[in-house]
Structure 1
Amino acid sequence: MNRKAKGFLTWVTAILLTTITDSTAEDARVTDVLLTTITDSSAEDAITVNLNDPCNNYTALDQPWRATNATAELSISDSNFNWNGWYRLLYYGMNIRMPESCDDNFTCSTYFTLWLNGHHPQIVDGPVTREVCANSASDSNCCFTSTWIQIKACAGNYYVYEFVRPDYNYAAYCADVNTITPTTTPTTASSTAMSADTPKNNTSDPCSVYSVLDNDWRKLHSSWFFDLDFSYFDDTLVEWSGWYRLYLQGKSAQIPEYDWCWSFMSCGGYTAFFLGGSHPRLQDDIITRDIYGYHHSVEDLSQCNSYKSNPIQVKACPGDYYVYRLVKPAVSIPVPTYCAVTTTFYDPCNNYTALDQPWRATNATVGLRIWDRYFNWNGWYRLLYNGMSARMPESCVNPSRCGTDFPLWLNGSHPEMKDGIVTRGVCVSLGWACCFISFTPIRVKACPGSYYVYEFGKPDFFYTAYCADVNTITPTIAPMTATSASVSGMNITDTPKNITSDPCSVYSVLDNDWRKLNRKKCSDS
Structure 2
Amino acid sequence: MINFFIEFDACSNYTLMKYVDRRAVANELDFGNFYAISDDFLDSGWYRIQSDAGEYMPTEPPGSFRCGTWYPIWLNGTLPTNFGEEIVGEVCVQGFKNNCSETWNIDIKYCFGNYLVYNLVTSIAAKSGYCFGTEAVIATIGTTSKSMVTNTDNPINSIDPCTQYSLIQYQYRRAATRTLNFGKDIAIAISDDFLDNGWYRVEKSSCEKMPTSAPGPFHCGTWYPIWLNGQLPTTKGQKVRQTVCMQSFTQKCLYSWNVDIKLCDGHFFVYNLLMSKTALSGYCFGTSDICAEQDKDDDSEPQHDNSEKKKKSQSSNPAIIALVILSAVVVILFILLVVYCQKSKLLRINGNGISFAGRQNIIGNRPTVYNRETCSINFQSRTYNDSPPPYRSREPSVVSTGNIFGKRKLAPAEIFTVKDSH
Give the shorter-chain TM-score range: 0.3 to 0.5
Structure with higher helix content = 2
The structure with the larger Rg is: 2
TM-score by length of 2: 0.36
